[in-house]
Chains A and B, each alone.
Chain A
Amino acid sequence: MTDVTHGTLEPLSAGGIDDVELYHPKSWITKYVFSQDAKVIAIQYALTALAIGLVALVLSWLMRMQIAFPGLLSFIDAERYYQFITMHGMIMVIYLLTALFLGGFGNYLIPLMLGARDMVFPYVNMLSFWIYFLAVLVLAGGFFVPGGPTGAGWTLYPPQAILANTPGQQWGIIVLLVSLMLFIIGFTMGGLNYVVTVLQGRCRGMTLMRMPLTIWGIFTATIMALLAFPALFVGAVMMLLDRLIGTSFFMPAIVAMGEQLGHKGGSPILFQHLFWFFGHPEVYIVALPAFGIVSDLISTHARKNIFGYRMMVWALVAIGALSFVVWAHHMYVSGMHPSFGFFFATTTLIIAIPTAIKVYNWVLTLWRGDIHFTPPMLFALGFIVTFVNGGLTGLFLGNVVVDVPLSDTMFVVAHFHMVMGVAPILVVFGAIYHWYPKITGRMLDDALARLHFWVTFLGAYLIFFPMHYIGLMGVPRRYHEMGEMAFVPPSTATLNAFITIVALIVGAAQLVFVFNLAWSLRKGRPAGGNPWRATTLEWQTPQTPPAHGNWGQTLPVVYRWAYDYSVPGAAQDFLPQNQPPDPGTA
């Protein structure tokens, strides 16, 4: 079989498929508010996600204050603490990262990188955002209902999630479940668009195996989301029924406060299975777009073709597929049959193989590359290190015997913050530094960007590294206050105070980033069309920022893969994907 990725072949289809008709907005409202342009929708998604993410950040500060200086902020009682934990986790994972990677970057990059004018069904795409927006409003509404938001933990395990005396049992849990269902409906509308655009809406010459890895990451993650969210949806429906009309799907017979409750015969473990059938793929829904983006950042800023493109694609697909058969590694201590533990530990460790392939390929891409330490490159490097770190502790936790004592300790908190908190967030930053010039036409300030990077990167390590140790010392997670526990040495308290102070500084340092975004919008250095001298199509648009319809009169035609950097003998050191083969250079 010929290698379609490297050749400078002619576009494949003889006839080609005709250009599509575009929807043209008629007023300011349909242009910027109820917009059907994927680029505007992308910005709407991103700003909404970042705004609600800021709430989650503030919540993390409050939690840290309570952990380090119990009682100092007197309004954080045990109930509030649990509510903060729950909302922080839920917002960060779903409403920030999922929405930002797929709704934000997906919408912006899929049509542009594939040479399309827009998503295939722009109207549905618009609905997707507004339903997401509604979901965020409903979620935020949880803070204002009587009793406040739910404090069940982001995993929402029954029975406690709906028992009296769990904070937010009255309204909070209902509001959250409804918000999740809305999120899933909204996401599905967008997700269908992303998948069909990638499958059926590419420009001439753009084969699947010429797509930039960013698109492969987003595409795989979207398919996973479309197959994983149903489990959460079903879980949410059933829990809502348990809570509202007294069914017993998840509720066993319980005596609470000396009273026999009305439920009997339900299975709490069933919810855990449904939740984690969604929950584990969710980790990769966040990670795969990050993988893809990092591959492109590294290749562009090291001026070197990605090492093992095909292997990278297949690794993404393999990780996506495998992540559907590992979910119960979150349930080793749930009381499920022990032989399940053996099965799920095995599958979990197998995932390490494609993941390790990706890490090796990133490193080999960097190997002897012409590395430019631009802000996107710094964040990409930060990601690799952090991801390897979180991945290694993941290998420990994947083994039943190691996990059982570590389960529900701060070690787990440190692990998942490394691997799905810090690592993807670093990619989000790197990607914004990379694509901001295309989105706004101006560069972000370099010095501020570097400051932001170092504070965030080093800060994240100072926060989460010691947390592993605290966990090994036996400090449990989700504890409002430790009180007098003989097995926890006092040194952990000092360490906790240290972590909190760093967390406050790191959080505050994000203001530098926000300031940079706002300031550069007007005052930034004009970027030109292709400041990073990148090959992918979004940098070849006739206008920057790209206009409605992206490509002016004629759609681009693609002749090569996305990684022709440092091509020997070429006039520049890169060949854009839409540059026709030239007898002189080939």
Chain B
Amino acid sequence: MNELAPTTPNAKIANAKIAPATGWRGTVADWSSDQRAFRTVSWGKAMMWVFLLSDTFVFSCFLIAYMTARMSTTVPWPMPSEVFALEVSGHHFPLLLIAIMTFVLISSSGTMAMAVNFGYRRDRRKTAALMLATALLGAAFVGMQAFEWTKLISEGVRPWGNPWGAEQFGASFFMITGFHGTHVTIGVIFLLIIARKVWRGDFDGGRRGFFTSRKGNYEIVEITGLYWHFVDLVWVFIFALFYLW
């Protein structure tokens, strides 16, 4: 049995000198070919895509449920731009914190994309550093979220009620941002683990993973990136549907 790790099809396909068709013809050719429905996609990446599809349904259900609650409640819904306003040196800024959080998270998508790029150039140090930066931005996001939670809780917002209106406001807020925050936290942990592996040179030396005894490679950086971009994208929807509505 040969020693190639299963997650490196790209190189192998390049070796096989198949000129891939493009556009619709390419899609049809891919789907009617043997072995793989997506010629250039590795197992790991395919799995992440399918997982994200499933996770999209989870977030959609959360958001649709929240919108249903918001539309059907007979009690007024608290004004997000007021609730999420900050007083900075006497000035009143609606949605200030959320704007910063969003900015931070979107920036982290940028550093992540750069990490992926350097990963494919096998630039160990830059990749690890950029992943670390991404993780720090992610952690900063979670930190600001914690601050926001604390602020709301101190103002009397609870999952079962709040001073300004419909109970479902607090419930949806804590549930949805909590669930998204958990995703970000998991992403940060993964980023740190992978960054450490990259830094240590695991993917250059073909070191075997702990549980599976399979060899990893730099593609895992891109797969982590997929997850990270997804989490960012979901935030954009939460931002639009929860805060801007």
Contact B16 A16 (CB under 8 A): yes
Report A-chain residues with C-beta under 8 Å of the C-beta of B57. Answer: 226-227, 230-231
| Other 5 A-B pairs with CB < 8 A, given A13-B33, A120-B47, A200-B37 | A15-B13, A121-B44, A200-B36, A210-B34, A558-B34
Contact B68 A270 (CB under 8 A): yes
Contact A188 B160 (CB under 8 A): no
Nearest residue (CB) in B for A242 is B171
Which residues of chain B (138-172) have a CB below 8 Å from chain A? 159-160, 166-168, 170-171
| Stretch in contact with the other chain, from A261-269, A289-297, A306-314, A537-545 | A261-269
Contact B168 A249 (CB under 8 A): yes
Report A-chain residues with C-beta under 8 Å of the C-beta of B1. Answer: 19, 21-22
Can you offer 12 A-B residue contacts whose CB atoms are under 8 A? Answer: A15-B12, A15-B17, A16-B35, A200-B38, A205-B34, A207-B33, A226-B54, A237-B179, A241-B159, A262-B160, A264-B167, A277-B61
Residue B244, interface by CB 8 Å: no
Contact with B along A179-202 (1 / 0, CB 8 A): 000000000100111011001111
Q: Number of contacting residues on A, CB 8 A?
A: 62
Contact B16 A188 (CB under 8 A): no
Chain B residues near A (Cβ < 8 Å)? 1-6, 9, 12-13, 15-18, 31-38, 41-44, 46-47, 50-51, 53-55, 57-58, 60-62, 65, 68-69, 72-75, 159-160, 166-168, 170-171, 175, 179, 211-215
Chain A residues near B (Cβ < 8 Å)? 4, 11-23, 36, 120-123, 188, 191-193, 195-196, 199-210, 226-227, 229-231, 233-235, 237-238, 241, 245-249, 262, 264-267, 270, 274, 277, 558
Contact B167 A15 (CB under 8 A): no
Contact A207 B32 (CB under 8 A): yes
Report B-chain residues with C-beta under 8 Å of the C-beta of A265. Answer: 69, 73-75, 166-168
Nearest residue (CB) in A for B58 is A230
Contact A267 B167 (CB under 8 A): no
Report A-chain residues with C-beta under 8 Å of the C-beta of B17. Answer: 14-15
Report B-chain residues with C-beta under 8 Å of the C-beta of A15. Answer: 12-13, 15-18
Contact A121 B72 (CB under 8 A): no
Contact B33 A12 (CB under 8 A): yes
Report A-chain residues with C-beta under 8 Å of the C-beta of B42. Answer: 200
Contact B168 A248 (CB under 8 A): yes
Known: A18-B2, A274-B65. A23 touches B9 (CB 8 A): no
Nearest residue (CB) in B for A15 is B16
Q: Which has the most chain A C-beta neighbours within 10 Å: B54, B74, B168, B175?
A: B54
CA gap between A120 and B6 in the complex, in Å: 9
Q: Which has the most chain A C-beta neighbours within 10 Å: B31, B61, B62, B160?
A: B61
